[in-house]
Amino acid sequence: MFIKNFKTALALSTCAVLLISQGCKKSFLDVPPQGQQPSQEFFKTADDASKAINSIYANLRVWNNTAFAPMAIESLGSDEAEKGSTPADASYMNAFDNFTVTATEGQIQDFWNGQYQNIQLCNQVLDNVPNIDMDATLKNRYLAEAKFVRAYSYFRLVRAFGDVPLRLHLPKDATEYNIPRTPKADVWAAIETDLTDAATVLPQNYGSSDIGRATKGAAIALHAKVAMYQKKWDQVLSLTNTVKGFGYSLFPNFEESFRIPNENNSESVFEIQAQSLGGGAATSQYSQIQGVPGNLNLGWGFNTPTEALVNAFEPGDPRMDATIIFRGETTPQGDAIEITGPNPRYNQKSYVPKSYPFIQNQGEDQNVRVLRYAEVLLMNAEAANETGDPTTALADLELVRARARGGNNAILPKITTTDQTALRTAIWHERQVELAMEFDRYFDVIRQGRALEVFGPKGWKANKNEVWPIPQNELDLSAGTLVQNPGYN
């Protein structure tokens, strides 16, 4: 009995084991990533290159690139804006306004991360797209677009932090993860190289399905701004002159040029494209953070214009009403602003009327105006003045003021001084009011060398506040490879 059983049992269990051995093949443990494309399958086709470029533009509108971090780093330090909202709401933002910020403040890390995310996405394209077999013209344009965004991101970094780690390629391995800060002169040089390369390739215009991509004009205008920050006036002059030949023109109505129907208008040199999209697409909260709170509920009411900004406008300058929403006013689009809001003023340039529907965040339709032709004219004016050509400078300035005047000759008298210093001051003032609340003022004043004079009363200190601190986490993680900016230790 035993023997018979043994044989049957053995036969049965052998069957079982044979079945199992099918499962034991090596392939059973080789499981591909689920619902995720392995990286080695990417960057093979023109379509992959196109998607990668899309990711770069999409990333420009994310939180770190358009919301709290830029507001803290690029706006609140200035004399034109303060935190806003209710006092307790995000009160840590005040540290950027009164210059008590320390390296652990989250916005610093966010801003840093936002720029380096852009750079990483660009480096993926710049390192990988050259190997794709595709139309050479399109390939070169993609590379040029990536160089433009990389340059723009390094520009924002070098302005904010001075020396920064310069990554122009993907790290090959762990030994390239932790690199020291590159002197800012080298960073500026790398930015200029990228922009020169980009300008050579990028087209002046795109077909309607590509509006929003970086153009030749955008690359050259940004290059001019980069040169201006380095006081290379000849270069600023020549670059802005080139852009002047590209057919841009100031949009007739200053206030309306910031409204959604007039995005990408004749004055637009570069805008971060935004749109109300569902399905998890990144949306810009640029307008939401600055939107009017309360019953209208357009947003959170941060980054509010200061009294100093109100006072900066010349009497009757229509740009004041176009730049600032005052408590109690009714906007040209018909929104009645409550008289009892927590803040007296809000940013009107980022304003999206109540009538616009949104899916995820209020005002997510609003493009961020990065470079406008008005600024190109003002850079041209400043460069001309610095290089001894007040006539050109005055002509540029008048173009900007004439548009602002809107036909009312009783206001904004023509500037006529040819005294270099007085004209410089006039140009700087024009920048202040023309570009107000566009996140330009803070670094502009530092560039002009007047920061102690203008921001000193708020706590700005020379030899410290020219740059913000390197994020503390970054210092910690670098274990000594990165060194903090002076005054922040």
Partner 1 sequence: MKRIYTISGLLLLFTFFTTAVLAQTLTLKGKVTDATTGEALIGVTVAVKGTTTGTQTDVNGAYTLNAASNATLQVSYIGYATQDVAIAGRNNIDIKLQSGTNELQAVVVVGYGTQRKLDVTGSVAQVKGEDIAKQSSTNAVSSLQGKVAGVQITNAGGPGSSPQIRIRGLGTVYGNANPLYVVDGAWFDDISFLNPNDIENISILKDASSESIYGVRAANGVVLVTTKKGKGAPSISYNAYAGWQKVTNQPKLANGTEYATLINELNAIQFPADPTTFPDPNKFGQGTDWLNVVLRNAFTMKHDLTVSGSTDKSTYSFSAGYLSQQGVVVGNNYDRITAHLQQDVQATNFLKLGYNAVLQSSKSRDVPGDVIYKGFTAAPVVPVYYADGAYGDPNDFPIGTATNNPQAQLDFFNQRSNGYRITGNMFADIKFTNYLTFHTSFGGEFGQAEVLGYVPAYKATATQLNDNSTLNVSRGEVRNWIWENTLTFDKTFGDHHLTVLAGQSSQRYKSYNITASARNVPFTSDGDLYLRLGSTTTDPNFPRTIDDSGALATYESYFGRVNYSFKNKYLLNASFRGDGSSKFIGNQRWGYFPSVGAGWVISNEDFMKDQHIFDNLKIRGSWGKIGNASVPANLSTLVVNNSAAFTAIYNGQPATGANITQIVPPITYWERGVGTDFGLEMAFLNNRLTFEADYYEKKTEQAIFAIPVLGSLGTGGGTIIGNQATFRNRGFEFAASWKGTIASDFNYSLSGNFSLNNNLVLSTATGANPIYGGGAAATGGQLSTRTVVGQPIGEYYGLVVDGVFQNTAEITNSLQPDAKPGDFKYKDLNGDNVIDAKDRTTIGNPNPKYLYGFSANLNYKAFDLSVDLQGVAGVDVYNANKGLRFGSENFTKDFYDNRWHGEGTSNTYPSANVGGGKNYLPNTFFVESGAYFRVRNVQVGYTLPSAVASKLFMKRVRIFASGQNVFNSFSYKGFNPEIGGQGDQPGINAGIDNGAYPLYATYNFGVNVTF
Interface of this chain with partner 1, residues 247 to 286, rule: CB under 8 A: 264, 273-282
Closest separation in Å from C-beta 319 to partner 1: 27
Q: What residues pair up with 164 in beta bridges, in sequence order?
A: 182
Q: Which stretch binds partner 1 (CB under 8 A): 35-43, 132-140, 317-325, 428-436?
A: 35-43
Q: Which is nearer to partner 1, 108 or 324 (CB)?
A: 108
Alpha carbon distances (Å) from 147 to 64, 140, 305, 343, 422: 20, 10, 34, 40, 38
Cβ distance 217 to 246 under 8 Å? yes
Cα dihedral sign for 233, 236, 240, 242?
positive
Minimum CB separation from partner 1 for residue 114, in Å? 8
Cα–Cα distance for residue pair 325/309, rounded to 1 Å: 12
Helix axis angle for 420-434 and 373-386, nearest 10°, is 170
d(CA 147, CA 126) in angstroms, rounded, equals: 8
Residue choice 29, 136, 339, 410 for contact with partner 1 (CB under 8 A): 29
Of 249, 266, 295, 416, the residue at the interface with partner 1 (CB under 8 A) is 295
Give strand ranges (E) for 344-475.
345-347, 368-372
Q: How far is the CB of 5 from partner 1 (least distance, A)?
A: 4
* Shortest Å distance, C-beta 218 to partner 1: 14
Contact 320, 411 (CB under 8 A): no
Least distance from partner 1 to the Cβ atom of residue 298, Å: 13
- Residues that bind partner 1 (rule: CB under 8 A) add up to a total of 106
- The answer to the question of residue 5 lying near partner 1 (CB under 8 A) is yes
Strands (E), 275-427: 302-305, 324-326, 345-347, 368-372
Which is closer to partner 1, CB of 55 or CB of 417?
55
User: Using CB under 8 A, which of the segments 4-12, 375-383, 394-402, 415-423 binds partner 1?
Assistant: 4-12
Q: Does 240 bind partner 1 (CB under 8 A)?
A: no
The single residue among 18, 133, 209, 410 that binds partner 1, judged by CB under 8 A, is 209
Pairing of strands 324-326, 368-372: unpaired
Q: Which is nearer to partner 1, 34 or 311 (CB)?
A: 34
Burial class (CB in 10 A: 0-12, 13-18, 19+), 326: middle
142-201 binders of partner 1 (CB under 8 A): 164-165, 167, 170-171, 173-174, 177-179
Of 392 and 478, CB closest to partner 1:
478
| Interacting span for partner 1 (CB under 8 A) from 121-129, 215-223, 387-395, 402-410 | 121-129
Binding flags for partner 1, 43-62, as an x/- string (CB under 8 A): -----x-xxxxxxxxxx-xx
Chain CA centroid to CA 147, Å: 15
Nearer Cβ to partner 1 (61/156)? 61
In angstroms, give the least distance from the CB of 320 to partner 1. Answer: 25
486 within 8 A of 463, measured Cβ to Cβ: yes
Nearest-approach distance from CB 275 to partner 1, in angstroms: 4
Q: Which residues contact 200 (CB under 8 A, 6 or more apart)?
A: 144
Longest dimension (CA), the chain: 120
Out of 96, 228, 288, 297, point to the residue binding partner 1 (CB under 8 A): 297
Residues 61-120 within binding reach of partner 1 (CB under 8 A): 61-62, 64, 86-89, 91, 100, 102, 104, 106, 109-110, 112-113, 116-120
33 near partner 1, judged by CB under 8 A: yes
Contact 103, 475 (CB under 8 A): yes
Specify the residue, 445 or 482, whose C-beta has the smaller distance to partner 1.
482
CA dihedral 118, 77, 289, 319 (to 10 degrees): -110
Token duo for residue 71: 């507001």
Residue 197 CA to residue 220 CA, distance in Å, equals 10
- Contacts of partner 1 in 319-378 (CB under 8 A): 357, 359
208 near partner 1, rule: CB under 8 A: yes
Decide if residue 301 touches partner 1 (CB under 8 A). no
